[in-house]
Amino acid sequence: MALPPVELYAPEECVELSRFGVGPFPSGEPVLCPPAIPASGYGGTLFPPFEMEGGYGGYIYGINPYGGMGAFSRVPIQVDEGYGGSEYGLSSYGGVSMPPPPFPAVDDGYGGVSYGYACYGVCRLEAPYVSSAVSLDGTQIEIFFSEEMDKGNSALLDTSSYTISQVLGAAPATPTLVEYGVEGTVGVSSIILTHTGTTIGGIYEITVVGPTDMTGDAIESSGRNTANLLTKGDVPTYTVTPDSDNSLLLEFSGDLVEETTFPGIDSSSSYDVSSSYPVSITIDDVTHPYSSDPSKIQLEISGMTETEYSCNVSPASAISYDGSYLPDQATTFTGVELGTGTSSVSDGALYLSNSFASYGWGFEDISGRIGSSRSFRIDFSFDVLQTTFNPPLFDAVVGALHFNDGGAQFSLY
């Protein structure tokens, strides 16, 4: 095939001669137009009807990669299956052979597991876990799960599946009963755990091991089977009955912690028996638990007669100070003077005076009732009506109250 000669043309003539157009060009200046081969595209390769072999690189468009690596048939290859000779969806492309349809029927989703209970192929996304726990009262805790749990699994109502651990300021508590909580579609999403009693304001950790969800998967055990919570507490009630001429039996509505856990229950100073009779009762000994029952205390006494008595259990105070004497004169706690200043007592109140220095008193427990693993309450009052500041204070701290249980400290300013 002869090629047309290379000539200079006016721009409008070149555009007309070019099959695809190569303008625009600077107006009025001659340009060099590439030779146009009839029925060909860029680079001089023919389009159908084919007068020579191929597209770019000499191969027909769509049958081989541009630039070519070998001849291909111009007739499309006909296959009965997907890529690599396998049906679409039955194996990876180019992959392993699978049996032809129809496939055996299953009652569930892909992999034989119901939709929503497992991912395709039976692999779970995550196991059930404890989502939270809340103290309902002093003897019940509700534990919530991330999904419905199987009521047919005996571990769900087994008290040994649940552990109540003390974290901070808490007395021991033991599960005694498990009941269903919030009912779901087919299972329950919570349970009610009854226990021997928690400390008001105490921090506990709940651990669950054993219960399963509706597909039989056990609750996760890698740290997500626990929950921490602040608990409520119930004030116990009690009755007092003379069980002999020289003993009293105290029966409480709940179990009491032993002396080793919270000092005071074995101390005779924790009990008081009074009456209008001029002879006072003396408490000689305290037995707890009595007859192996932690809800009972026996007081051995002397001086009891036939009259009406009042029995008072507690106070359980560790430090009691009313301001009527200097703190370092106390016998139930240790008063320590801190800083530089002076103190005096007048009209039943403690007065502090200092000059440009921090000054105050420290009250140290000697009863053993304040500890880093216990909860306690502090009540205090200040009367600043007679307080004077010279020179006047501006944007300054006028007082600080520090609380320290031996493990942690917080301050009020």
Q: How far apart are CA 90 and CA 98, in angstroms?
A: 6
Contact 342, 354 (CB under 8 A): yes
Residues in the chain: 413
Burial per residue of 368-400, b for 16 or more beta-carbon CB atoms within 10 angstroms, e otherwise: eebbebbbbeeeeeeeeeeeeeeeeeeeeeeee
List % helix, strand, coil for the chain (3-state, nearest 5): 10, 30, 60
Helix (H, G, I), strand (E, B) or coil at 125: coil
In the chain, count H helices and then E strands. Answer: 1, 21
Q: Which domains does the chain have, with CATH numbers?
A: 130-230 (2.60.40.1220), 238-313 (2.60.40), 327-412 (no CATH)
> How far apart are the C-alpha atoms of 189 and 182, rounded to whole Å?
6
**Whole-angstrom Cα distance, residue 36 to residue 7?**
12
User: Kind of pairing, strands 238-244 and 247-252?
Assistant: antiparallel
Of 217, 170, 168, 227, the C-alpha closest to 193 is 227
Cα separation values, 254 from 217, 222, 310, Å: 37, 35, 21
pTM of this prediction? 0.45
Distance (Å, whole) CA 239 – CA 216: 49
Q: Hey, what are 57's tokens?
A: 């690189």
pLDDT at 24: 52
Place of tokens 């996760």: 220
Residue 389: the pLDDT is 72
pLDDT tens, position by position, 72-88: 334 444 444 444 444 44
Backbone phi, psi, residue 164, to 5°: -110, 115
Taking alpha carbons only, the member of 116, 119, 149, 120 closest to residue 217 is 149
DSSP-derived 3-state class of residue 343: strand
Closest to 313 measured CA to CA, from 286, 277, 280: 286
The mean predicted confidence, pLDDT, of the chain is: 75
Note whether 334 and 271 are within 8 A (CB). no
Beta bridge partners of 313: 271
Spatial distance between the Cα atoms of 171 and 91, rounded to a whole number of angstroms: 61
Residue 186 three-state SS: coil
Residues with pLDDT less than 70, the chain: 1-125, 315-316, 371-376, 383-384, 386, 390
Number of C-alpha atoms within 13 angstroms, CB side, residue 200? 7
Model pLDDT, residue 236: 81
For residue 17, the 8-state DSSP code is: H
